[in-house]
C-alpha cells in the first residue's frame, strides 16, 4: 500500500487544524491480520514527516452562559496550534434562562457528565475544558490552558496509530496495549472554524457569541481491544464537516490518540 497527499490535500488538512496520522506500521499490521481485506489498489492517506500525537481540547459551553464567551475565545486561540484538536460541545441545560442554544444536543451534556464521573467532580458546570479526557482546566485562563496542553503533549507513549482510507469511508486503528476495561473508537463530527450567533435571550441577550469547531454529532464506532481494526465512518457527514476520531478508554475516559479527517 502506498500513496501520498496531493498539495491540495495537505493545504486542506492544515486549514482545518487537524492531523492525519501516518501509519505505515498500522497498514502492515492490518494487512498481516487480514482486517477488512483492504485491496492493494486502494491507497491510504499519510504524510511524509512524522508529527507528535495531538492533544484533544474539549470545551463544554452554552450560548446562554454569561461566562462562556471568554472561554470560547481562549479555546479558539489555541485551536490553530499545531498538535491541537479543539472541539466545542454546546450543552442544553442553560436553555431554561430564555434562550435555546442553537448548537446544543442532549448527548453533549451526557458526554460532559461522563467526564464528571471519571474526573470525580461534584457537578458539571460551564464553561469547562477537558484536556485529553484526563484533566480539566479551571477558569480557562490563557496560561493555565497552554500549560495543560504542553504537559499533555509530552505525556503519551506509543499510542495506537490512526489512519484514514483515502476513500473517506473507513478509518483504521493500529495495535497497542489494551487498557483495563477496554477502549472505544469515537467519531466526533464538527464544523471547522469559527461561527457567530446573535443571542436574543437569556444572560447573553444582545451579544454576538463566537464559537470554533462546533460539534454536530458524537458516535461510537466500536470497541478497540489492542488489535488492528478497520471502522466504518459516519455516512451522514455533510461536505463542509470534519470528523475527529478519538481512541478513548472506557473506564477513566482518557484519550489515547486522536486524528482528524478534513471536510470532503
Per-residue pLDDT of the chain (264 residues; tens, 9 = 90+): 333 333 333 333 333 333 444 444 444 444 444 444 333 333 333 333 344 689 999 999 999 999 999 999 999 999 999 999 999 999 999 998 889 999 999 999 999 999 999 999 999 999 999 999 999 987 667 788 999 999 998 886 778 999 999 888 999 999 999 899 999 999 999 999 999 999 998 889 999 999 999 999 999 999 999 999 999 999 888 889 999 999 999 999 999 999 999 998
Q: Answer whether residue 111 is part of any domain.
A: yes
3-class SS of residue 9: helix
170-212 pLDDT tens trace = 999 999 998 999 999 999 999 999 999 999 988 899 999 999 9
pTM (2 d.p.): 0.81
DSSP H/E element including 27: helix 24-33
Q: Answer whether residue 148 is part of any domain.
A: yes
CATH number of the domain enclosing 75: 3.40.30.10
As a 3-state breakdown, the chain gives helix, strand, coil percent values, each rounded to 5, of: 25, 30, 45
Q: Answer whether residue 163 is part of any domain.
A: yes
d(CA 56, CA 59): 10
Domain that holds residue 54: 7-261
**Own/partner pairs for 7-10, CB < 8 Å, 24+ apart?**
9/45, 9/262, 10/47
Residue 248: name the closest of 106, 111, 72 by CA: 111
d(CA 259, CA 21): 6
d(CA 37, CA 14): 31
Q: What is the dihedral of CA 76, 244, 199, 131, to 10 degrees?
A: -50
Contact 97, 202 (CB under 8 A): yes
Q: Answer whether residue 248 is part of any domain.
A: yes
Angle at 113 between CA 108 and CA 114, to 5 degrees: 95
**Mean per-residue pLDDT over the chain, rounded:** 82
Residue 94: name the closest of 112, 75, 76 by CA: 112
Residue 261 — φ and ψ, nearest 5°? -100, 115
Contact 23, 162 (CB under 8 A): yes
Q: Answer whether residue 2 is part of any domain.
A: no
Contact 21, 163 (CB under 8 A): yes
Cell numbers placing 19: 492531523
Q: How many structural domains are present in the chain? A: 1
Q: Answer whether residue 1 is part of any domain.
A: no
3-class SS of residue 258: strand
- Label the pairing between strands 135-137 and 128-131: antiparallel
Contact 123, 245 (CB under 8 A): no
Amino acid at each position: 500500500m502506498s500513496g501520498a497527499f496531493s498539495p491540495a490535500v495537505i493545504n486542506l488538512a492544515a486549514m482545518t487544524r487537524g492531523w492525519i496520522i501516518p501509519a505505515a506500521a498500522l497498514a502492515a499490521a492490518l494487512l498481516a491480520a487480514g482486517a477488512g481485506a483492504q485491496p492493494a489498489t486502494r491507497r491510504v492517506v499519510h504524510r511524509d514527516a512524522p508529527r507528535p500525537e495531538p492533544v484533544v481540547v474539549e470545551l463544554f459551553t452554552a450560548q446562554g452562559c454569561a461566562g462562556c464567551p471568554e472561554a470560547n475565545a481562549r479555546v479558539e486561540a489555541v485551536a490553530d496550534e499545531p498538535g491541537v484538536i479543539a472541539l466545542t460541545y454546546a450543552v442544553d441545560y442553560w436553555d431554561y434562562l430564555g434562550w435555546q442554544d442553537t448548537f446544543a444536543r442532549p448527548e453533549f451534556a451526557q458526554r460532559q457528565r461522563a467526564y464528571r464521573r471519571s474526573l470525580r467532580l461534584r457537578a458539571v458546570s460551564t464553561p469547562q475544558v477537558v484536556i485529553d479526557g484526563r484533566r480539566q482546566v479551571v477558569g480557562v485562563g490563557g496560561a493555565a490552558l497552554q500549560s495543560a496542553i504542553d504537559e499533555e503533549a509530552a505525556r503519551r507513549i506509543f499510542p495506537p496509530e490512526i489512519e484514514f482510507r483515502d476513500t473517506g469511508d473507513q478509518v483504521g486503528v493500529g495495535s497497542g496495549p489494551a487498557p483495563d476495561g477496554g477502549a472505544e473508537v469515537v467519531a466526533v463530527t464538527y464544523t471547522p472554524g469559527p461561527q457567530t450567533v446573535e443571542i436574543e435571550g437569556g444572560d447573553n441577550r444582545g451579544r454576538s457569541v463566537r464559537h470554533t469547531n462546533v460539534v454536530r454529532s458524537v458516535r461510537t464506532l466500536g470497541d478497540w481491544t489492542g488489535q488492528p481494526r478497520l471502522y466504518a465512518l459516519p455516512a451522514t457527514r455533510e461536505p463542509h464537516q470534519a470528523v475527529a476520531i478519538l481512541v478513548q478508554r472506557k473506564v477513566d475516559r482518557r484519550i489515547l490518540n486522536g486524528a482528524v479527517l478534513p471536510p470532503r
